[in-house]
């Protein structure tokens, strides 16, 4: 056990949808990693619940196989894996009927934290929550964890919230946005609020603009039919990108407590201006290879769903008025990279000659991969020949700067342990989520009402030309993907 790892209290966790992809790829492997790290105690129990009619041994076998398929189990972890698998039970359950619920109830222990992970379609959230109430499984201290998509617009998100709240209080509900579990995303708060250096200049007086880019090389192969009903706006912007924007733009909370942090994020969301049509660009990937276009992966030749979106967002408050935030995200782009660029204004006056034009500093926060921070500084180019200026990076990679034996935990590891600890800081509150949808709904409604299709962009490019132009017309440029 690492010196820094404090075990959480014993818990009983039921994973609904336990035979699904997320459970196999993320939830069980993350729990195992925390078990190996000594954070998940041996007294904990995990119960898989799903429709499939199998017994405990069959389920444990399926999980063991999935581990070998998806997760890296080191040679010296095989013994730990068997111990971990020994903590797992399984109950076949009928969400709409009575089968399985009594058995499930009897598996829970008194005086142990109860957590219910709903790794299922959102349409089942309400039914499962009521069954947990009806069968007396939930207690006042139980926690319920839900995955996205949390609604498709503000009314559906509100309805889901209402359904959950019929049986659970807000302080028991943990809505996962896995971006908030990423170490580097949490680091945004450390960067801002544990350093005095930037705060004085963290505003529209000193910052020209901000760019938030989340670009992926993967397409929607395999999940095209799901994605086609969602699109990048709902799938990525509504949650991940807006959360990043909030962390960059929010006021310092008085304390690092769940509601203090979430109150500040909510104020940012409430201050977002509505967006003009010319400030959003949608794209859809195209390929010269047959069958590799977005529409092929979506199995919908007429699809108007976006696999790329770029937008200019204004925040109307004292700190940010006049400093645009440019957001972009897309599939099948040139490089997988998530980064935030804080582009500072140029010094107000140059004492140097015209041959030495000044540039504003740039703070580049790389969230993934190769996590780190770069500050671009201007220095004198060495050598005789007058005062020439050059831009150089002050570069810091987390892997080099920190003890590399402390491997970065997966977002789910952190988030599930936070649920057990009862810490909601990294989870979205109901009002945050609904406000994000309220801001976004008119944009999507305008697309739906129109007939325009997203612009095409080549697989492996940086997105549609129009997205580049959107920034150029403001006299700015996107940082190149992987520059």
Active site residues: 240
Question: Can residue 228 be called a binding residue for ligand BG6 (CB under 6 A)?
Answer: no
Q: Which is nearer to ligand BG6, 172 or 338 (CB)?
A: 338
x/- letters, 304..323, toward ligand BG6 (CB under 6 A): --------------------
Minimal distance, residue 319 CB to ligand BG6, in Å:
28
CB 392 within 8 A of CB 6: no
Minimal distance, residue 328 CB to ligand BG6, in Å:
14
Minimal distance, residue 38 CB to ligand BG6, in Å:
26
Minimal distance, residue 341 CB to ligand BG6, in Å:
17
CB 312 within 8 A of CB 277: no
x/- letters, 325..354, toward ligand BG6 (CB under 6 A): -------------x----------------
Cα–Cα dist 35/53, whole Å: 27
Q: Which is nearer to ligand BG6, 208 or 235 (CB)?
A: 235
Minimal distance, residue 1 CB to ligand BG6, in Å:
27
375 sits in which H/E element: strand 372-380
Q: Determine what percent of the chain falls in helix, strand and coil, rounding each to the nearest 5.
A: 40, 20, 40
Q: Which is nearer to ligand BG6, 338 or 424 (CB)?
A: 338
Query: 64 burial class (0-12, 13-18, 19+ CB within 10 angstroms)?
Result: middle
Q: Which of 12, 77, 216, 413 binds ligand BG6 (CB under 6 A)?
A: 216
Q: Which is nearer to ligand BG6, 366 or 376 (CB)?
A: 366
Q: Which is nearer to ligand BG6, 186 or 317 (CB)?
A: 186
What DSSP designation does 238 have? I
Q: Which is nearer to ligand BG6, 138 or 178 (CB)?
A: 178
Number of residues that bind ligand BG6 (CB under 6 A): 3
Q: Which is nearer to ligand BG6, 25 or 45 (CB)?
A: 25
Q: Which is nearer to ligand BG6, 59 or 179 (CB)?
A: 179
Q: Which is nearer to ligand BG6, 338 or 343 (CB)?
A: 338
Minimal distance, residue 461 CB to ligand BG6, in Å:
18
Minimal distance, residue 235 CB to ligand BG6, in Å:
5
Question: Can residue 147 be called a binding residue for ligand BG6 (CB under 6 A)?
Answer: no
Minimal distance, residue 281 CB to ligand BG6, in Å:
19
Residue by residue, what is the 3-state secondary structure of the chain? CCCCCCCCCCEEEEEECCCCHHHHHHHHHHHHHHHHCCCCCCCCEEEEEECCCCCHHHHHHHHHHHHHHHCCCCHHHHHHHHHHHCCEEEEECCCCCCCCHHHHHHHCCCCCEEEEEECCCHHHHHHHHHHHHHCCCCCCCCEEEECCCCCCCHHHHHHHHHHHHCCCCHHHEEECCHHHHCHHHHHHHHHHHCCCCCHHHCCCCCEEEEEEEEECCCCCCCCHHHHHCCHHHHHHHHHHHHHHHHHHHCCCCCCCCHHHHHHHHHHHHHCECCCCHHHEEEEEEECCCCCCCHHHHCCCCCCCCCCEEEEEECECCCCCCCCCEEEEEECCECCCEEEEEEEECCCCCCCCCCCCCCCCCEEEEEEECCCEEEEEEEEECCCCCCCCEEEEEEEEEHHHHCCCCCCCCCHHHHHHHHHHHCCCCCCCCHHHHHHHHHHHHHHHHHHHHCCCCCEEEECCECCCHHHHHHHHCCCCCCCCCCC
Residues 380-419 binding ligand BG6 (CB under 6 A) are none
- How much is the CA Rg of the chain, to the nearest whole Å? 24
CB 444 within 8 A of CB 438: no
Question: Can residue 235 be called a binding residue for ligand BG6 (CB under 6 A)?
Answer: yes
Minimal distance, residue 116 CB to ligand BG6, in Å:
21
> Which residues are at the interface with ligand BG6 (CB under 6 A)?
216, 235, 338
């Amino acid at each position: 056990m690492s010196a820094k790892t404090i075990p959480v209290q014993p818990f009983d966790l039921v994973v609904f949808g336990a035979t699904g992809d997320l459970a196999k790829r993320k939830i069980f492997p993350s729990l195992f990693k925390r078990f190996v790290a000594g954070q998940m105690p041996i007294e904990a129990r995990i119960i898989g619940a799903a429709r499939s009619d199998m017994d405990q041994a069959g389920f444990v076998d399926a999980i063991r196989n999935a581990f070998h398929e998806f997760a890296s189990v080191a040679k010296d972890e095989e013994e730990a894996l068997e111990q971990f698998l020994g903590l797992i039970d399984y109950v076949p359950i009928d969400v709409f009927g009575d089968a399985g619920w009594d058995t499930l109830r009897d598996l829970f222990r008194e005086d142990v934290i109860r957590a219910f992970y709903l790794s299922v379609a959102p349409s089942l959230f309400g039914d499962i929550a009521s069954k947990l109430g009806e069968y007396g499984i939930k207690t006042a201290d139980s926690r319920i964890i839900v995955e996205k998509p949390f609604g498709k617009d503000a009314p559906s998100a509100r309805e889901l919230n209402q359904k959950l709240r019929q049986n659970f209080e807000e302080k028991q509900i943990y809505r996962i946005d896995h971006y908030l579990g990423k170490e580097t995303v949490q680091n945004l708060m450390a960067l801002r609020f544990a350093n005095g250096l930037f705060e004085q200049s963290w505003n529209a007086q000193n910052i020209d603009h901000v760019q938030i880019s989340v670009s992926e090389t993967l397409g929607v192969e395999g999940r095209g039919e799901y994605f086609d009903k969602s699109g990048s706006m709902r799938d990525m912007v509504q949650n991940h990108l807006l959360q990043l924007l909030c962390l960059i733009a929010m006021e310092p909370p008085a304390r690092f407590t769940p509601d203090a942090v979430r109150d500040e994020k909510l104020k940012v969301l409430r201050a977002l201006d509505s967006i003009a049509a010319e400030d959003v660009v949608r794209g859809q990937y195209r390929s010269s290879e047959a069958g590799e276009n977005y529409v092929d992966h979506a199995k919908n030749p007429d699809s108007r769903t976006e696999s790329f979106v770029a937008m200019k967002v204004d925040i109307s408050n004292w700190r940010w008025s006049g400093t645009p935030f440019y957001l972009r995200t897309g599939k099948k782009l040139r490089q997988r990279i998530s980064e935030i660029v804080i582009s500072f204004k140029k010094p107000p006056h140059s004492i140097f000659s015209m041959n030495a034009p000044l540039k504003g500093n740039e703070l580049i926060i790389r969230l993934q991969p190769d996590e780190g921070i770069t500050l671009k500084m201007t220095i004198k180019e060495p050598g005789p020949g007058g005062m020439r200026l050059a831009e150089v990076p002050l570069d810091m990679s987390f892997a080099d700067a920190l003890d590399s034996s402390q491997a970065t935990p997966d977002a789910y590891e952190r988030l599930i342990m936070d649920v057990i600890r009862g810490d909601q800081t990294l989870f979205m509150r109901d009002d945050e989520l609904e406000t994000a949808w309220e801001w976004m709904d008119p944009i999507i409604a305008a697309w739906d009402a129109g007939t325009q299709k997203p612009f095409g962009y080549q697989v492996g490019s940086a997105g549609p030309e129009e997205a580049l132009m959107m920034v150029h017309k403001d006299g700015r440029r996107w940082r190149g993907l992987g520059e």
